Amino acid sequence: MRIGVDLGGTKTELIALADDGTVRLRRRMPTPAGDYPATVALIAAMVAQAEAALGARASVGIGTPGSVSPVSGLMRNANSTCLNGRPLKQDLEAALDREIRIANDANCFALSEAVDGAGQGGAVVFGVILGTGVGGGVVVNGLVLNGANGIAGEWGHNPLPPGADSEGVAPACYCGRRGCVETWLSGPALAADHLRVAGEAVAPEAIAARAAAGDVACEATLLRYETRLARALAGVINLLDPDVIVLGGGLSSLDRLYRNVPLRWTPHVFSDAIATRLRPPLHGDSSGVRGAAWLW
């Protein structure tokens, strides 16, 4: 049996999978905000309760914001800042009395969709998170690609390839640079672009609804978004040449992306034909926790 835990900023979710991927148990608890010891204790308690309910000891995989530094073994780059600089893997292994596997939540998403989701059967799968932030994960032949620095798939902090729709001062990113893919393609970035151009503050979901109802300004905002996403993903195709790209996060629910983006990435891909498929997630917001279980 495999247990996966998705450690989020507001909720912590646990899933137990049988070897064939059947869900045996699923539980959610609020994450103790800003409290590192309580977070470790919560995960240990949830695993113990799950194993007691199922009557079996399981492997444990953890999906987290941020990642483990290969140099120090400490957490870094987590927007749940209480994790940064902490030996999360070591502390959880001590609390659970076993080896665990830990990966960035975007890597877990990609792994879930590669194993038995929208990317199943693809030798190379790139999983994209388009939500409050922008992230990515790479899975090759069913295994997460971590890389020498533990940052493989950190697509959101590459610069957006230039185009006519990105002229002017590039938006500032929390990482200290400007013009990162995240500053153009996250949910807040979509709303910020609409505010800059149309002069109106509109939430991302409302932009999509109003565009579908014929709002010209909102339609123009989504067209700019699709063009930028196409250029950014063309760079991924040129570098990784994936069989499948799976979109996750809140903006992945925009059905029009799957029709329009592949039409717009063609001029930017260095090939006479493009076999890469762009797909919505099969497991939705459960992919992260499922992927954590599949780390084993």
Domain count, the chain: 2
Identify the three-state secondary structure at position 204: helix
CATH number at residue 45: 3.30.420.40
pTM: 0.90
Question: 224: closest CA among 184, 253, 263?
Answer: 184
- 38 shares its domain with 177: no
Model confidence pLDDT, tens digit, residues 48-80? 999 999 999 999 999 998 899 999 999 998 878
Summarize pLDDT for 191-240 with one digit per residue, the tens.
Answer: 999 999 999 999 999 999 999 999 999 999 999 999 999 999 999 999 99
Q: What are the percentages of helix, strand and coil residues in the chain, rounded to 5?
A: 45, 20, 35
Same domain? For 168 and 253 the reply is: yes
pLDDT grade, residue 179 (50/70/90)?
very high
9 occurs within a structural domain: yes
Tokens matching residue 27: 């539980």
Give pLDDT tens digits for 114-127: 999 999 999 999 99
SS (H, E, C) 252-267: HHCCHHHHHHHHHHHH
Co-location of 56 and 99 in the same domain: yes
Angle among Cα 212, 281, 225 to the nearest 5 degrees reads: 40
Asked if residue 77 lies in contact with residue 66, where contact means CB atoms within 8 angstroms, the answer is: yes
- Segments forming the whole domain that contains residue 198: 121-280
pLDDT, residue 78, reads 84
Whole-Å CA distances, 121 to 39, 111, 118, 242, 248: 36, 12, 9, 12, 18
220 lies in some domain: yes
One domain for residues 150 and 189:
yes
Q: Give the model's pLDDT for residue 167.
A: 62
